[in-house]
A and B are shown apart, each in its own frame.
Chain A
């Protein structure tokens, strides 16, 4: 029996966005994600990147592994710099260039939270992409507020105790025009969300779940599989928020029904970071996931 494609392939030129010579680890979600960004937004992109893995991934001067414009900035300030860029472009009447703040979970959920919140509240015209690899990878796998409970990091050797900070929900509370979650396991969905975001004026936020083989301790060939498992177990929910309403995205639709979700253990067992996870941790995570689903259903 032949397999029919449900979704068209991504445009070929996505291969041109990340140039040979980048410095990412094998199986890195960043290069994959940047390709989708390139495919969706084209070359007229200005990425604003604070300290994070991406600062290294795009390579060293005088080269650049990202085929577009990129401004590297101090850790706490991606959204603030992007605010300035967006306003200056608007003043100059440049409307065909996408300003994209691109930061890790640490640069977003922790040190960058004030500038993110400020830029969102002022509703500058930008797309803020938080690639969520659930720890500070660039400095050697330290916990962030987006690290899930039970996960080992170098600063939580016995596993993180606190829940994962829900940044997308925080951004929804800002009342910005568009908030979405995405996953590197579902590039078409991410692509569609970027496309949509690029057509909306104002502040757009996308939280991209981005499994990191190095930090999560899994084989580099498994990045996509693990990303998908996060969705299939219901742990990571793909949705869009617009005009006060949440819409569940295609890949997550089946899992509104709890019985369809794969057992979480399948997700945990592939990752070294969850080696020490306890029954208690799993229960806490299950509770957290149930709550997240309940919350989403309320706004659907």
Chain B
């Protein structure tokens, strides 16, 4: 099909269409709305043979998605911010149910005050719900990730739902060229729907009934195993996707100018593009710095992160979400996971920024990274936690 100029939201809708989703249940919320509008249009024009359930809330959107998935359909939904929080009970339910589902999260701050601008608060809030969680950096990656999500979710070694995060407006409403593959190729690569069990009345089957603590715990331990498997599957799928479609991203993480880097910046999501630009300028000025981008927040890429950051002279984790009363969410995750592999951590700084949709430019990244490295070079350690507020 070649290059199309698409907004992030239309990219997601197109990828879901090309994955041949059969049921879409969704509810509008800015900045996600245009995804479901586009899907509704595809369906009504007969371009996509799917059933749209125009539900009355996000709680029902994921509940209906779950029902359709249980009965054997490939399903897709999307939401954002308060929609995601409203559906949170179901996010857990679907994760623990071990049923493949794919959902896009067009990330947005949480109220009050009302604010429709992007940060990652809504997305990271779901991290304990047994979903595989990925964030893309640009619309091409969002397209590729969405297709990959179906493949990962429906892999028998995984059978977990997947959410794809894309920053509201920054990706959601910004048009970029996207290389769209042939439908035939996608069909061949993705194959038909796979799931662990189907409830369709063909034989009596009970799902989710009361279980004793030990049984329950064993089921939850299986989820942890599936997450471990997913690390392998995600890399495999990325490799394979690269072979078929010519694009791969490095699996769970993506590195930019890391090979000879002595200092490292860690980011997730669209603003990584600004960070990369800052790194280019810093490199021009002789700063040996690279960027590690977290593509998958769950399963957390502990080994990959450790192998890149272990010998770093200094790391800055940029967070677009904070766990109030503690620190940036990604930072907390990263430090905990590094400790799985080593007792001696490099200096790791946490800069929280861009909360509530504050625009962070390459200049901000440049200044923050530069000043941190300058201090470290002088033998000073700036405070580990810094909430950067640019007024």
A residues neighboring B (CB under 8 Å): 43-46, 48, 55-56, 58-62, 64, 66-74, 76-77, 79-92, 94, 96-98, 114-115, 117-118, 121-122
A71 to B57, CA, bound (A): 21
Shortest CB–CB separation between residue A225 and chain B, in angstroms?
31
Could you give 21 example pairs across A and B, Cβ below 8 Å?
A55-B209, A58-B206, A64-B204, A69-B201, A69-B203, A72-B206, A73-B93, A74-B63, A76-B59, A80-B59, A80-B63, A81-B63, A83-B25, A84-B71, A84-B75, A85-B199, A88-B22, A91-B23, A115-B57, A118-B56, A122-B54
In the complex formed, the residue of B with least CB distance to A56 is B210
What chain B residues lie within 8 Å of A80 (beta carbons)?
A: 55, 59-61, 63-64, 67
Q: Are B60 and A118 in contact (CB under 8 A)?
A: yes
What chain B residues lie within 8 Å of A48 (beta carbons)?
A: 67
Shortest CB–CB separation between residue B255 and chain A, in angstroms?
40
In the complex formed, the residue of A with least CB distance to B51 is A87
A82 to B199, CA, bound (A): 12
Shortest 3 CB-CB distances between A and B: which pairs?
A84-B67, A97-B201, A118-B56
Q: A46-B199, A61-B210, A80-B55 are in contact. Are A71 and B204 (CB under 8 A)?
A: no
Judged by a CB distance under 8 angstroms, whether B70 is at the interface is: yes
What chain B residues lie within 8 Å of A92 (beta carbons)?
A: 71-73, 200
A81 to B67, CA, bound (A): 4
In the complex formed, the residue of B with least CB distance to A85 is B67
Judged by a CB distance under 8 angstroms, whether B207 is at the interface is: yes
Q: Are A84 and B59 in contact (CB under 8 A)?
A: no
Q: Are B51 and A90 in contact (CB under 8 A)?
A: yes
Q: Are A67 and B68 in contact (CB under 8 A)?
A: no
Q: A89-B200, A92-B71, A115-B59 are in contact. Are A84 and B89 (CB under 8 A)?
A: no
Dominant SS among interface residues on chain B: mixed
Shortest CB–CB separation between residue A114 and chain B, in angstroms?
6
Q: Are B208 and A72 in contact (CB under 8 A)?
A: yes
Q: Are A74 and B89 in contact (CB under 8 A)?
A: yes
A60 to B201, CA, bound (A): 20
Residues facing A in B303-348 (CB within 8 A) are none
A276 to B106, CA, bound (A): 55
In the complex formed, the residue of A with least CB distance to B73 is A88
Shortest CB–CB separation between residue A48 and chain B, in angstroms?
7
Contact mask for chain B residues 134-162; partner A; CB cutoff 8 A; 1 contact, 0 none: 00000000000000000000000000000
Q: Are B206 and A64 in contact (CB under 8 A)?
A: yes
Q: Are B60 and A77 in contact (CB under 8 A)?
A: yes
A61 to B67, CA, bound (A): 20
